[in-house]
Every structure is written in structure tokens, then in C-alpha cells.
Amino acid sequence: MSDRRSGGGFRPSGPREMHKAKCADCGQETEVPFLPDPDRPVYCRECYQSHKPSKPNRY
């Protein structure tokens, strides 16, 4: 048997590497935990709230 756990994602220890970006809505300088793709918009925390996808309701 292996000592590896299944089903979990890899989460490195320590601080995340942050990358500077400019919000596509308000133009504010922000930082994101991923390397921004120039072909996709990046939003600051406040603007992201109005753009985040809605979750489907589950019954």
C-alpha cells in the first residue's frame, strides 16, 4: 500500500506568491494568487463580487 492520500489537492505550506494586476472594472491596482492571463479580465475583491458566477440551487 502507498502512503499517498487520495482525493485531496496539493496545498504548499507557507505564504502564497501574489502577482500584481489591474482591475478590469475600476482600474485599481490589486494582487492575485495566480499569474494573470492577458486575455482574461482580473477583478479586485470588490468588483469580483459582482462578477462571480452564481451557484445553482440544490434541493
User: Is 43 part of a structural domain of the chain?
Assistant: yes
* 33: containing domain: 19-51
Quick one: pLDDT at residue 5?
52
- pTM given for the model: 0.62
Which grid cell sits at 53?
Answer: 458566477
Looking at the 3D structure of the chain, how many domains does it have?
1
Task: Say what percent of the chain tops pLDDT 90.
Answer: 56
Q: Assess if residue 11 is contained within a domain.
A: no
The answer to whether the beta carbons of residues 44 and 30 sit under 8 Å apart is: yes
As a whole number, the mean pLDDT across the chain is: 83
Tell whether 12 is covered by a domain. Answer: no
pLDDT per residue over 29-55, tens digit each? 999 999 999 999 999 999 999 988 777
* Residue 42 burial class via C-beta count within 10 angstroms: exposed 0-12, middle 13-18, buried 19 and up: buried
Asked if residue 21 has pLDDT above 70, the reply is yes
The phi, psi pair for 51, rounded to 5°, reads: -110, -15
Residue 9 has pLDDT above 70, yes or no: no
